[in-house]
Structure 1
Amino acid sequence: MCADEECPWLIYTSYNSRDCCYQIKTFVDNHTCGRDFVSNLADYKWVASKLVKVLETRPDLTPKEAKVHMVDEYNVQLHYKMVARGLKAAREQVIGKEGEQYGILQDYLSELLKSNPGSTAMMWTIPQPEGLPLFDRLYISLEACMFGFKVGCRRLIGLDGCFLKGYYGGQLLSAIAQDGNNHFFVISYAMCGSSQGFHASMQLLQFLD
């Protein structure tokens, strides 16, 4: 029967031992109730698995927006606390993956210098009395980019930057030039905190000198 007591929808089946199957005896195909999107089968783990991909492009997703997303994409209406719990679990998965990347930055820089001789790659950290040091800022300039600037670009360097929208924030700074086709040519780039933009820009120019 329908969950709505006033709705006449009904289906009744019984087992047919002769044919070894279930046979429909009564069927009233008439719904008078509204459609209900509430599901008791969805748990926070299922919600988290659906929100992980969304957080990769929308890291600032709120529980209210996540609830609307679940209705639009999966036609399921969930309790606010269930969505908030699933969103928290999904954010921990995404943030955890981002946090793990900082632990292998030194290996990445070593491999970069090994595969690109003549390049410059530097990383600054903040020592901690107890525990591992914290990431502070990063500077990378590939040898091929420096050579390309010298032989094929105008002798004019510009600075550009943008704010990073990830969980940890910060700024991405770049030293750029123009090639013979008037296209932007990246010479070097750096990553720093939001409050270090000016000082990091000055360091970019010092390294290029």
Structure 2
Amino acid sequence: MVIAAIVAQHFEATIKDHPKMKLRKIQKIYTSEMHVNVCIDFCYRAKKIVKEKMIENSKEEFRQFWDYAHELRSKMPGNTIKMVVQRVTVDSPPHFKRFYVCFDALKKGWKAGYRPLIRLDGCFLKDPFKSEFLAIVGKEANNQMFAIA
């Protein structure tokens, strides 16, 4: 007997790499690799299982940001660490919004050898939460490009 959990387990890496893969394609690949005919509902449930697992893994990783921020504050005082969370209601759990870290050594080095910024660069990340990554681009004393992410 083939159940959706087996299909999800077999295609977990494929669905993670290609989250927009069509259900018919999953069905066709599974049939050719495993020599078992599965209905489209099984593929739908398998894809849903994998996506829920990805979201749960992301939530667990975001929960670890609190520990990371606390460890940075305790081991290296002087760092600027800001984390912004959002709550829908007062009783609801916090939802991660933003995380900012600026190390004390970078602040001191930046102030000592200030160079004008060339540009602010950014890109959109393709994850279940549709996030954005920003970086500052500048030049060092020997005309080498650098980026601070």
User: What is the TM-score normalised by the length of structure 2?
Assistant: 0.77
| Greater gyration radius | 1
Contact 1:121 1:140 in 2 (8 A): yes
Task: Please list the CA deviations of residues 121-152 of structure 1 after superposition, one character each: whole Å capped at 9, or x if unmatched.
Answer: 10112232222222222212233444554567
- 8 Å contact kept, 2:4–2:46: yes
Letter in 1 for 2:146: F
Of stretches 118-127 and 172-181 in structure 1, the one that deviates more from structure 2 is: 172-181
Report the Cα offset of residue 174 of structure 1: 1.8
Going from structure 1 to structure 2, the CA distance change for 1:67 and 1:184 (only over 3 Å counts) comes to farther
Contact 1:125 1:134 in 2 (8 A): yes
Cα distance, 1:181 vs. partner?
5.9
Q: CA deviation at 1:116?
A: 3.8
Are the aligned partners of 2:120 and 2:135 in contact in 1 as well (CA < 8 Å)? yes
Equivalent residue, structure 2, for 1:63: 23
The corresponding residue for 2:96 is 135
Bigger fraction of residues in helix = 2
Query: Alpha-carbon deviations, 1:91-111, whole Å to 9, x = none?
Result: 111111112222222222111
| Paired position in structure 2 for 1:165 | 126
**In structure 2, how many angstroms separate the alpha carbons of the residues matched to 1:138 and 1:108?**
11
String of CA shifts for 1:29-80, please: whole Å, max 9, x gaps.
Answer: xxxxxxxxxxxx4321111112222233233333234234435655554221
Deviations 1:147-181 (A, max 9, x none): 55456784325211111111011211122323336
Identity %: 27
Partner of 2:117: helix, strand, or coil?
A: coil
Residues 78 and 104 in structure 2, CA contact (< 8 A), matched pair in contact too: yes
1:104 aligned partner, one-letter code: Q
What is aligned with 2:78?
A: 118
Taking the aligned partners of 1:64 and 1:143, their CA distance within structure 2 comes to 53
After superposition, the Cα gap between the structure-2 partners of 1:144 and 1:158, relative to the gap in structure 1 and judged at 3 Å, is: farther
From the superposition, tell whether residues 113 and 60 of structure 1 become closer, same or farther in structure 2 (CA, over 3 Å). Answer: farther
Distance 1:71 1:181 in 2: 57
Unaligned runs of 5+ in 1: 1-40, 190-209
Count of aligned pairs between the two proteins: 147
In structure 1, what is the equivalent of residue 68 of structure 2?
A: 108
How far apart are residue 118 of structure 1 and its match? 2.9
Aligned to 1:182: 144
Aligned mates of 2:28, 2:113 — CA distance in 1: 51
* TM-score scaled by length of structure 1: 0.58
Select 1:88's aligned residue among 48, 71, 94: 48
